[in-house]
Amino acid sequence: MKPSESIDPAPHEPNRVCDVVVVGGGPIGIETAIEMRRNGIDAVVFEAGPLGHTISWWAPQTRWFSSNDRISIAGVPLNTIDQAKASREEYLTYLRSVVDQFRVPVETFSKVDKIEARPDDPRRWQVQVRSKWIEASAVVLAIGGTDHPNRLNVPGEDLPHVDGYLREAHHYHGRRVLIVGGRNSAVEAAIRLHRVGAKVTLSYHREELPETSIKYWLRPEIDGLIRSKAIEALFESRVTAITPDRVDLDQTLPDGRHHTLHMHFDDVLTLIGYEQDKTLFKQLGIRMEDPGGKPIYDDETMETELPGVYVAGTAVGGTQSSKYQVFLENCHVHAAKITKHLLEYGIGSRNTQATSQAKPSASPELNRQIEMNPES
> Residue 18 and residue 34: Cα distance in Å, rounded?
15
In a domain, 226, yes or no: yes
Assess whether 226 and 304 both reside in one domain. no
Residues 342, 20: Cα–Cα separation, whole Å? 9
184-198, 252-266, 280-294, range with the lowest pLDDT: 280-294
Is position 136 within any domain?
yes
How do beta strands 294-295 and 176-180 pair? unpaired
Residues 33 and 117 in one domain: yes
Residues 318 and 359 in one domain: yes
Q: CA-CA distance, 46 to 25, in Å (whole number)?
A: 6
- Considering the domain architecture, whether residues 174 and 140 belong to the same structural domain is answered as no
Of 13 and 128, which is predicted with more confidence?
128
- 100 and 37 in one domain? yes
- Same domain membership, residue 127 and residue 202: no
How does residue 353 score in pLDDT terms, banded at 50, 70 and 90? Answer: low
Q: 235 is in which domain, residue-wise?
A: 151-270
The residue type found at 343 is L
Whether 265 and 211 map to the same domain: the answer is yes
Across the chain, mean pLDDT equals 88
233 shares its domain with 174: yes
Looking at the fold, whether 139 and 42 belong to one and the same domain comes out as yes
pLDDT at 326: 76
Q: Which of 270, 294, 320 is the last residue of a domain?
A: 270
pLDDT of 371 higher than 80: no
Assess whether 50 and 73 both reside in one domain. yes
Gap between the Cα atoms of 337 and 329, Å rounded: 16
Pairing of strands 176-180, 267-270: parallel
pLDDT at 19 over 80: yes
66/299: higher pLDDT = 299
- pLDDT tens across 114-172, in order? 999 999 988 899 999 999 999 999 999 999 887 889 999 999 999 999 999 998 999 99
CA distance 354 to 104: 9
* Each residue's pLDDT tens digit, 180-224: 999 989 999 999 999 999 999 999 999 999 888 788 889 999 999
Domain total of the chain: 2
Q: Which pLDDT value is given to residue 10?
A: 74
Distance of CA 137 to the CA centre of its chain: 25
Mark which of 246, 270, 294 sits at the end of a domain: 270
My answer on whether 115 and 161 are in the same domain is: no
Give a yes or no: residue 363 inside a domain. Answer: yes
Of 270, 289, 322, at which residue does a domain stop? 270
The model's pTM is: 0.85
Lowest mean pLDDT among 57-66, 106-115, 178-187, 199-208: 57-66
* pLDDT for 216: 85
Query: b vs e for 4-17, b when ≥16 Cβ sit within 10 Å of the residue's Cβ?
Result: eeeeeeebbebeee
In angstroms, the CA 249 to CA 252 distance is: 10
User: What percent of the chain has a predicted confidence (pLDDT) above 90?
Assistant: 68
The upper half-sphere exposure of residue 287, i.e. CA atoms within 13 Å in the direction of its Cβ, equals 8
Query: Which segment of 31-45, 79-93, 117-131, 356-370 scores lowest on mean pLDDT?
Result: 356-370
User: Can you tell me the distance from the alpha carbon of 178 to that of 172, in angstroms, rounded to the nearest whole number?
Assistant: 11
* CATH classification of the domain holding 247: 3.50.50.60
